[in-house]
Amino acid sequence: MKVSVFGTGYVGVVSLACLLRDGHDVVGVDPVSSKIDDLSQGKTPIQEPQVAELISAGHAAGRLRATTDPAVGIGGAEMLWLCVGTPSRQDGGIDLDSLTGAIQEIGRSLRGLKTRPLVIVRSTVLPGTTENKLVPVLESASGLSVGRDIQIVYHPEFLREGSAVNDFDDPPKIVVGELIPGAADRLLDLYQNYQAPRFRLKLAEAELIKYCDNLFHAVKITFANEIGALAKELGIDARIVADVFCADRKLNISPRYLRPGFAFGGSCLPKDLRAILRRSAEISVEMPMLHSVLNSNRSQIERLVDRIVTLGPQQVGLVGLAFKSMTDDMRESPYVTVAKRLIGEGMSLKIYDQGIQPERLIGSNKISVQNALGHLETWLVSTLDELTSCELILVNHPSVTADQIHTWLDGNITVVDLVGITDVDRDRGTYEGIAW
């Protein structure tokens, strides 16, 4: 395949080197002539393990060219990989000038050509950028209709500098965002021999995945470092703790607790977090990330209450009050907080929770719910049918079926689903979650 790589920085050069190694004909395009001079002589303009050898071999095989002229770069290309920089602006936003500039040059060059290469954006851009900013630039510069005459794909890059060639060869995943289904077919063909799960998404979803990964990596690093700072002050070797923490692949290093949903609660997480924050304050160890976790959790509750207030029901049904389904533990249950807030907003409630028998509640569990909601019997109902008089039903536990939700939606009841019941027809009536 003939591929042109626009932008010969870290991402562009690594891509170019690996594409050469895979037997493709590659043209590097960059306005910086020193980089083009290097590539034209079979040298790498960046320092990265294995890259020099791959470029030298590709050059010797006569499959590498480089140019500062975009029109020359596009000639005959079946694919254009855009690896142009998207640096930070002063205000923290991203500077798209180089990327839109490259797209404009590509669009103008396409006017004089019959070929319609697949345009692949690899630069990191905020969700919505490709569809709302890059597509219009490409269309106005080329006079073509994107989706009909020419296809664009967003294809995030997950490489790490220092192990970039290994990451290209063995990627954690191959993600493509498409404007129309099938747009990325040719690109995925190129990865035929790569072992990695493939994900076809919408453009904005693929754009967000890249940020999601990087934000999570930042959170992981910060988390590990805050624990490290605390451990050192307590005279504990944090590396030993980290080894055991990371050995747990069921709860710690796993998809557990990583699905968007509602706030955490219960008798452990908030209590343990407060205890560590208290202790860290005593020994003067700052843990700003963990400090903000409780605030963030409260915000999740407030977001839901605000949303319900906006929807304006008089009567709200709750499926689930305990902090977890099939238990009767209401200590620090976020649903108890929500119920209290909704009562405070003047709404009447009907609560269905098959795990709760008020007469059997004892100790701190009983006291906490009594303090928040008074007599629980006032609000509890014993069947789901009794919720049909509510204008809005809040699904807090996964103890209802999709059919039940469809019945409520058919009866013009708004359903806010905090747990993501499977197989619900999401386009049917007034159905929403807190994260979708």
Ligand X SMILES: NC(=O)c1ccc[n+]([C@@H]2O[C@H](COP(=O)([O-])OP(=O)(O)OC[C@H]3O[C@@H](n4cnc5c(N)ncnc54)[C@H](O)[C@@H]3O)[C@@H](O)[C@H]2O)c1
Active site residues: 268
Nearer to ligand X, 10 or 431 (CB): 10
Stretch that binds ligand X, among 16-24, 30-38, 107-115, 226-234 (CB under 6 A): 30-38
Nearer of residues 161 and 286 to ligand X, judged by Cβ:
161
Least distance to ligand X from the beta carbon of 209, Å?
12
Q: Please classify residue 197 by burial: count the beta carbons closer than 10 Å to its beta carbon, then call 0-12 exposed, 13-18 middle and 19+ buried.
A: exposed
Complex with ligand X: residue 3 or 316, whichever CB lies closer: 3
Q: How far is the CB of 85 from ligand X (least distance, A)?
A: 3
Nearer to ligand X, 7 or 433 (CB): 7
Q: How far apart (Å, rounded) are the C-alpha atoms in residues 222 and 249?
A: 20
DSSP bridge pairs for 380: 351
For residue 59, the minimal CB distance to ligand X (Å) is: 18
DSSP 88: B
Tell whether residue 7 is a contact of ligand X (CB under 6 A). Answer: yes
Q: Is the dihedral angle over the CA atoms 217, 218, 224, 228 positive or is it negative?
A: positive
Nearer to ligand X, 157 or 353 (CB): 157
Listed residue (345, 267, 266, 332) closest to 304, CA to CA: 345
399 binds ligand X (CB under 6 A): no
Q: Which residue has the tokens 């709760």?
A: 356
Contact between 80 and 2 under an 8 Å Cβ cutoff? The reply is no
Closest CA to 17 of 232, 165, 185: 165
Does 67 sit near ligand X (CB under 6 A)?
no
CA distance 53 to 303: 54
Site membership for ligand X, residue 134 (CB under 6 A): no
Q: Quick check: 434 binds ligand X (CB under 6 A)?
A: no
Count CB neighbours of 12 within 10 A.
Answer: 27
- Where do the H-state alpha helices sit in 133-268? 135-142, 164-169, 185-190, 203-233, 238-247
Question: Does residue 3 interact with ligand X by CB under 6 A?
Answer: no
Neighbouring C-beta atoms of residue 292, cutoff 10 Å: 11
Q: Which of residues 69-98 bind ligand X (CB under 6 A)?
A: 83-86, 98
Q: What is the CA radius of gyration of the chain?
A: 28
For residue 30, state whether it binds ligand X (rule: CB under 6 A).
Answer: yes
Q: Choose between 48 and 131: whose C-beta lies nearer to ligand X.
A: 48
Q: Does 157 bind ligand X (CB under 6 A)?
A: yes
Binding ligand X by CB under 6 A: which of 75, 101, 261, 355?
101
| 4 is an interface residue for ligand X by CB under 6 A | no
Smallest distance from ligand X to CB 35, Å:
6
**Count of positions on this chain that bind ligand X (CB under 6 A):** 25
Q: How far is the CB of 37 from ligand X (least distance, A)?
A: 13
- Asked if residue 228 binds ligand X (CB under 6 A), the reply is no
Q: If binding is defined by CB under 6 A, does position 126 make contact with ligand X?
A: no
Q: Could you tell me if 276 and 287 are in contact, meaning their C-beta atoms sit under 8 angstroms apart?
A: yes
Q: Tokens at residue 394, please? A: 């809040």
Whether residue 152 contacts residue 138, with contact meaning beta carbons closer than 8 Å, is answered with yes
Residues that bind ligand X (CB under 6 A): 6-12, 29-32, 35, 83-86, 98, 101-102, 105, 123-124, 157, 159, 161
